Amino acid sequence: MLRVGLTGGIGSGKSEVSRRLAALGAVIIDADVAARRVVDPGTPGLARIEETFGPGVLRPDGALDRERLGAIVFSDPAQLAKLNAITHPLIGEWMQAAERAATEAADGNPIVVYDAALLAESGRWANYDLVIVVDVPPEVQVDRLVNQRGMPPDQAQARLAAQATREQRLALADLVIDNSGSLEDLDHRVAEVWADLKRRAAAR
């Protein structure tokens, strides 16, 4: 098994890369899915968030109000650190369990890709055989958040500021996927990276 960490800042197109790798045969374990599951209604994670941030971060149906929580944590590094201290260990446990289940079901020598936007922030990059960083300039990230997701520019800047810097992510990279070009360019680069991953998996 080859364990790969895949990361990139918000608006980098990491999810596009993840979908392409899945289509090529990678086993994808998505930290965004984990992040939702560990704060589902009735979970210890959600109970700790309510205890820390107050009942105002819950919707009337008892589910997490992500927009309200985001407004609190993405403008205050201390509050974000509190949230990460709750969720990061739970996400790690969920992903480890998902890896065990996925590899038991897989044939041969699987390439398992952990799709994790906050890989640099969590300190878990050493858990992987290699790290892939999906990279675009910060101004491209902001443009995509504003024009494709409809996010106000100040919120887009706050989201970027709450994540690791471009330089911090690139310092962890074994492979870099530049996603500042066209989708055709991305297809070509992902195919190159997949061929590299298959060679590495075969050599293990």
pLDDT digits (tens, 9 = 90+) for 88-121: 899 889 988 988 888 777 777 789 999 988 888 8
Average pLDDT, integer, range 133-144: 95
Helices (H), the chain: 14-24, 31-37, 44-53, 66-73, 77-105, 119-122, 138-147, 153-162, 166-170, 183-203
Q: Are 11 and 144 in contact (CB under 8 A)?
A: yes
User: What's the confidence (pLDDT) of residue 119?
Assistant: 87
From the list 100, 126, 124, 122, the residue with the least C-alpha distance to 112 is: 100
Domain ranges of the chain: 2-38+97-203
Tell me the per-residue pLDDT of 28-67, one tens digit each, with 9 for 90 and over: 999 889 999 999 999 999 999 999 999 999 999 999 999 9
**Tokens in use for 82?**
């509190």
Residue 50 pLDDT: 97
Q: What is the CATH number of domain 2-38+97-203?
A: 3.40.50.300
Written as six digits, the tokens of 52 are 């820390």
